[in-house]
Structure 1
Amino acid sequence: MKHILPGACLLCGVRCQGGSGLCPGCAADLPRLPATRCRVCAAPLPHAGVCGVCQQRPPAYDRCVAALEYRFPADQLIQQLKFQRRLVVAEALGELLADTVAGQYRTLPDCVLPVPLHRARLRERGFNQALELARPLLRRFGIVPDLEGCSRVRATTEQAGLPAALRQHNLRRAFKVHRSYRGRHVAIIDDVMTTGHTVNELARVLRAAGAQRIDVWVAARTVLRPGDEKTYHVATRQLPTVADSDRGA
């Protein structure tokens, strides 16, 4: 990718005004999710309501809020963040997510929990992209970040490219909670939600620790289409264990 100067659009490199990091043209090209989508997992629907998957197998979380659909050019931004270490992208995506979240809550969550990275992955990458995405929301809404209450105790294989069955096994017992969440309203933050396995497993252990409500806030959500994996969720609140990630932490 060509070098982009400070103050230039994160996608096309053209000089742009304002703090969004994107020129008007590229900002307009970002793929938004349709207005009618599942009230739980944010999957697009022809009408408002709850999708069949969430009705049949409710996930461990209560609601997903997604800023963008994970396709071009939003996927380019997230890949810049994760694999080119361009933290300025996290600021831009975090602001977009904050714009999406704003106005959707009468009462905001008690705390924000960025999806934890295993310490080996954190050493390799040098930062937690979920935490970097969370920073603009923490500033805007004044919510307390939760950085110590849960950890990723088992290193997992990158989730991208794994079939659903292997994703489920890959994340089994990956997260450990270190405190009670009794009665808490928690917002989990991650970069991308594909099948929902990562956030679902994290939500499961939070639910077991007493969390009353769990929302998921993501910068982008993959829309599964015919030929893709057939289910978004592999676990319910009733199952003793869940597992799997979205696109690999």
Structure 2
Amino acid sequence: MTSKTQLIASAFKKAGAFIYPKVCLHCNDVGYNGMDLCERCYQGLSWVQYACARCALPLPTGNAPVCGACSNRELHFDYAQTPFRFEGFIRDAVSQFKFNYKLNLGKLLAQLLTEHIENKCVDIPKIIVPVPLHKKRLRQRGYNQALEIARIVSKEISSGLVYDEIYRNRDTSVQMELPAKQRHKNVKDAFSVKDDSTILKNKHVCIVDDVMTTGNTVNEVAKCLKKVGAEEIGVWCIARVSTGKDE
């Protein structure tokens, strides 16, 4: 957008905020910083302070740039970023958005992720790829939560959105219901990419999902992106589970 267009858009946005003020989706107080979340609830979110640079696992201190698990496994993505631990209001909001059609919470989560990206990420990717749902799960749910998040983020940071080059080729079991040893097997080779895909070649691409735990799902997606020549692959998620259960 030109500077003149940006000024006009900003003016309309401010006018809209004045006429229709934001209201906190957690406590119904007045919204903060253009979001449906008040300042007190915003400050009380489960922010990640220190994290592994490869998989975004929350760490107790910033002394080690990479966690022990990443030193001993093959990752197909280069880095991961997440603003929150998967707990408290964030956990509830993700669940309500994902399973109870609370799209307003999805918009808020996408805004929070965008804010984190703009503050933390120097090199913005050319393309964003949401983790795909299987067509059966998509019919049941009505929408892909990762795609809804990616739509907002890509628009705000001016990155391209690609969601039809990669697909889930089988309906996998829900990861959180499986023992740890079965989770990797559950999603192994569960994704495919179009053989003639060229749009991702030599590009910096970022995978978007709602929650990341062990990273098995996004790692399988990244493997597909590598096959069609993606040069650098990142992962952006709303929240990261610290231990135990999977996404």
Pairwise same-fold verdict (TM > 0.5): yes
| In 1: Cα distance, 2:112 partner to 2:48 partner | 13
Higher helix share: 2
C-alpha separation between the residues in 1 aligned to 2:74 and 2:66?
Answer: 10
Determine if contact 1:11/1:77 at 8 Å carries over to the other structure: no
Identity level (%)? 37
- Aligned length in residues: 222
Q: TM-score, normalised by structure 1?
A: 0.83
Greater C-alpha Rg: 2
Do the aligned residues in 2 keep the contact of 1:111 with 1:143 (CA within 8 Å)? yes
CA contact (8 A) 2:56 2:80 kept: yes
Question: Displacement of 1:38 after TM fit?
Answer: 1.1
Counterparts of 2:130 and 2:52, CA distance in 1: 23
Three-state SS of the structure 1 residue aligned to 2:175 is: coil
Residue 94 of structure 2 is matched in structure 1 by: 78
Deviation, structure 1 residue 161 = 2.7
- Give per-residue Cα distances to partners, 1:195-214, cap 9 Å, x unaligned: 11110111111112221111
SS in 1 for 2:176: coil
Structure 2: tracts of 5 or more residues without a match: 1-20
Is 1:39 aligned with 2:50? no
CA-based RMSD: 1.8
Q: How many Å apart are 1:17 and its aligned residue?
A: 5.7
Aligned residue type for 1:107: D
Is 1:30 the counterpart of 2:45? The answer is yes
Q: 1:19 to 1:103 in 2, by over 3 A?
A: closer
Which one-letter code corresponds to 1:140 in the other structure? E
How far apart in 1 are the matches of 2:64 and 2:152?
A: 29
Aligned partner of 2:81 in structure 1 is 65
Other-structure match for 2:5: none
Q: Describe the SS at the equivalent of 2:27.
A: coil
In the superposition, the TM-score normalised over structure 2's length comes to: 0.84
Distance 1:158 1:93 in 2: 22
Among 29, 46, 56, the residue aligned to 2:72: 56
Structure 1: 5+ residue runs without aligned partners?
1-5, 230-245
1:44-70 residue CA offsets vs partner (Å, 9 max, x unmatched): 332141111111214111111102110
Which residue in 1 is equivalent to 2:188?
A: 172
